[in-house]
A and B are shown apart, each in its own frame.
Chain A
Amino acid sequence: MSPSQLAQRTRGPKVRHEGNSKSAPPSPWAGRWRRGSPLWFRVPLAIAIPVVALLVAPELKNSSLHLYTEIGIWAAVAVSLHLVLGFAGQLSLASGAFLTLGAYIGARATGFWHWPGLLTVAVTAVAALVLALAISVVIFRARGLHFALLTAGISLVAFGVIVNWQSVTGGSGGMSTGGPLSEGGAPGPLTLGPIEIDSAEQYFVAQAVLLSALLLGISILMRRKTGESWKAIREDDVLAASVGVNVPREKQIAFVLSSVLIALIGVFHAHWVGFVSPESYSFAKASFEPVAMIMIGGIGTIFGPVIGAAVVVGLPEMLRDADEASVLIYGILLLLVVMVAPRGFLGLVKSGLALLLSLGSRRRAPADDEGAGPPPEPSESGPSQLAGKTS
């Protein structure tokens, strides 16, 4: 890392503070925009989204309900994964493993053991917690590409297990939440205490509740000490350690929390689909696509993964008419998005806003110029180069 980069990184958080405390008259929105909306705005917003979902649900066609629910579920996966990837700055491809874990426990428990939903959720959470803890003890000894491969390895091993352990997972044929295929059972509902989620509309509303609760929780967490520590680790873990952040512990917390959340979403996903098979949790689908969602939406932002999920899940749906070429068009669009906006959609919006603000104000903090300047060195949003830390 060059000295100027280091200086820029060390300056980052300090400038952000200035922006918060005394937002100078020429750019009153700069501080507000950086800090995000206040709590009195976000809590009602988080309540309003599910309410709107509840109101519009009867109006929607079945196909739209399906699409929006799928987007919402994958957005929740991406938002959870983003804790490790975007905030703690570790490229984790392990999401597939935990999604699989949750989905298979969910399908097995409802379909074969007839557990109540709350027990399933509790067991999944504990299983994911134990597994993630065990993995996190050793996994953070690797960094950068090594970390990515190690987590990819965990996902691929999980895939191998569900294909081969036929007596429990149904092998490549999969299994239904309605029990053995011979009994021809319809998919079982997800019962959480008094609530029973069964119809497409109910899943749609439940998904909205889940996603907005997750977003609210994370947005609050990110303003607390934990969140700030994670951002510090993302920017520079040596520097973070030097100011008293317990780097290994914080990374572990981020990984375990994200893994447990993804496993719980897995339970939900399995019940919504009604059927689990290795195909739904392949490496490309369950491990890589969430990473792509985060990248496309904008890494380091709260809403980025949601936008990314809408793009990644929605695009193939929109391109369905293109038939054979649809995956090709998807690949080309993905490439173009990364080329045009390497920091994601929200990164593009942010630099655009920064540019507008810099045009509108004469008094400018030096760090803002760096942020909006031509070399797209991600200093505030967007984790720093993983591999770049070595030189």
Chain B
Amino acid sequence: MTSNSVLNVVDVSKSFRGLRALSGVSFTLRQGEIFGLIGPNGAGKTTLFNVISGFLKPDSGRVGFLGKDLVRLKPHEICKMGLARTFQIVKPFSHLSILENVAVGCFNATNDIQEAEERAWEVLRFVGLEKKALSPAMSTTTPDRKRLELARALASQPQLLLLDEVMAGLNPTEQMQIVGLVREVREKGITLLVIEHSMRVIMGLCDRIVVLNHGECIAEGEPRAICSDKDVIEAYLGKGNTFVRD
């Protein structure tokens, strides 16, 4: 384990009534990298996110964040330590304004309402939602909801950010805008763990990738290496195929 590791997932397993969602998953995130988590549908990606962020307790294994064990902690305690997440199915506070949505996140780091508001505007400008800040969250479009999800998580001032398919359901232009944002987030020194389905996005964005299939890590490494990995191609396309890059 290197000294600059941010997140250590060690041998995590989780079953739902006999169905093994995760078995012996291990990997390490280094400070300041964008780490991709990919795999076919039902591979256990979101389950792993729920385990890391405290929504699920693993059956065995350890999740270490900046040297502390997260397994016994509740989600809000984990957020307080500087680990924020987004949800695949966006969960805006529908009846609150976008500004208030983000302010809830800001209060994670400050008690002062003035400071929270200033910080909220800052984050909204960063993700490009400042013009819609005062309209209720339920009146926004899907791309804006994805941005809001990202903004709220950022507002809690995390050191590690888990993004669960923030680009799903967006068109390529919108995707590239979010990719740009994610890169800027990294520039601020925040480490990122990203679940994404679009290969084009993930290959261009991530420094390293881990591939899950049926709850097991089948490959880990740089995007280029992953593309040509035999097990990965098999998991995605079945036996006897070759992965064709566009």
> A and B, one complex?
no
